[in-house]
Structure 1
Amino acid sequence: MLRIARSAHLDMIRHAIAGLPNEACGLLGGPVGGDLISSFVPTRNADQSAKTYSIGADGFLAADRVFAPLGIDVVGVMHSHTHTDPYPSPTDVQQADNPLLLGWHYVIVSLRDREPMLRSWLLDDGAIVEVPVAIVEA
């Protein structure tokens, strides 16, 4: 189970909505190998697209500035789907096919319905595995 701090969860939802009409994205912070996302850093979608996202070097630098003093690392990525389910697209799976990203959490916020829906995935070596999510006080 992936535990997400309530403040990080709210920041993800706000950032997803603010990013419309494009997909929004950001980086997840927590202990490497752990199951807690304690912090979220919103980043710009370098693709400026409603169908794809990418995080530029500036996003990783911003996350490092926030996470390093907290003693945590980048452990995943969040992005939004503007009109589809929070399920990884073929593009999402292809982008995750990188040995440096092994074990990363992929959180997707869907804005398809009135209420945003958040789900989490592990995307390793082409496999798509859902990870249950709990929102926690942290």
Structure 2
Amino acid sequence: MLTIDQATYDAIVAHAKRDHPDEACGVVAGPEGSDRPERFVPMVNAAGSPTFYEFDSTELLRLYQEMDSRGEEPVVVYHSHTATEAYPSRTDIGLAMEPGAHYVLVSTREHGNNDGPVEFRSYRIVDGEVTEEEVSVVAHLPAGHPGD
């Protein structure tokens, strides 16, 4: 199950709506081994496409160096679908290189960048196998323990 705080959930949805009709993408980093999505990092879709996303390689390298220096890992990898349901495409599955991450998809197909609900779903993708998981949105993440 993905447990995510309301502010981070809202930030992901706002990014997806803002970039519509292009796909939005980003990462939510957290302390290594904690499964706590704490630091929202919106990224640029280098593909600039309504049907495909690609992290900018320089930006991604910088993010991984930053996470490494902070003892973080990508807890959530998110992107949006602008015309289809929030389910990983074959391309998305092929790009999934973080077996410990939650892969969040937000579909903006119904309302685009206007007000209105979005489809927000989370998956685990390991060795090409997709498993949907429950999403729990909480007001605040519970306090972490030292060493988390």
The interval holding the TM-score normalised by the smaller chain is 0.7 to 0.9
Opposite residue 61 of structure 1, the aligned amino acid is: R
Structure 2 unaligned segments of length 5 or more: list them: 112-116, 142-148
Aligned sequence identity (%): 37
Q: Quote the residue 1:95 is aligned against.
A: 95
SS of the aligned residue for 1:36 comes to coil
Q: CA deviation at 1:113?
A: 2.2
| Structure 1 residue identity aligned to 2:137 | I
CA distance in 2, matches of 1:81, 1:3: 21
Larger C-alpha radius of gyration, 1 or 2? 2
Paired with 1:112 and 1:24, the residues of 2 have a C-alpha distance of 13
The answer to whether the 8 Å contact 1:5/1:39 transfers is no
Partner Cα distance (1:129, 1:23) in 2: 22
Residue identity matched to 1:80: S
CA separation in 1, counterparts of 2:75 and 2:125?
13
Q: Name the residue aligned to 1:43.
A: 43
| Counterpart contact for 2:67–2:73, Cα < 8 Å | no
**Number of residues of Structure 1 aligned to a counterpart in Structure 2:** 134
Deviations 1:91-138 (A, max 9, x none): 101111x4xx22221100111224111111111111000111111123
The answer for unaligned runs of 5 or more in structure 1 is: none
2:146 is matched with none
Q: 1:59 offset after TM fit, Å?
A: 4.2
How many angstroms apart in 2 are the aligned matches of 1:120 and 1:6?
A: 15
Q: How does 1:21-100 map to 2 (within 5 A)?
A: 21-56=21-56, 57-62=58-63, 65=66, 72-96=72-96, 98=97
Matching residue of 1:131 = 133
Structure-2 residue corresponding to 1:110: 107
Q: How far, CA to CA, are the matches of 1:109 and 1:60 in structure 2?
A: 24
Q: Say if 1:84 and 1:50 are closer, same or farther in 2 by CA, change over 3 A.
A: same
| Misfit runs of 4+, over 6 Å | none
Q: TM-score under structure 1 normalisation?
A: 0.85
Cα displacement (A) at 1:61? 2.2
Superposed displacement of residue 11, structure 1: 0.7
Is this contact kept in 1: 2:36–2:75, CA < 8 A? no
Give the distance between the partners of 1:113 and 1:21, measured in 2 at CA: 11
CA displacement, residues 57-107 of structure 1 (integer Å, 9 cap, x when unaligned): 2145257658965x53322310000011110011101111x4xx2222110
**Separation of aligned partners in 2, 1:22 and 1:81:** 8
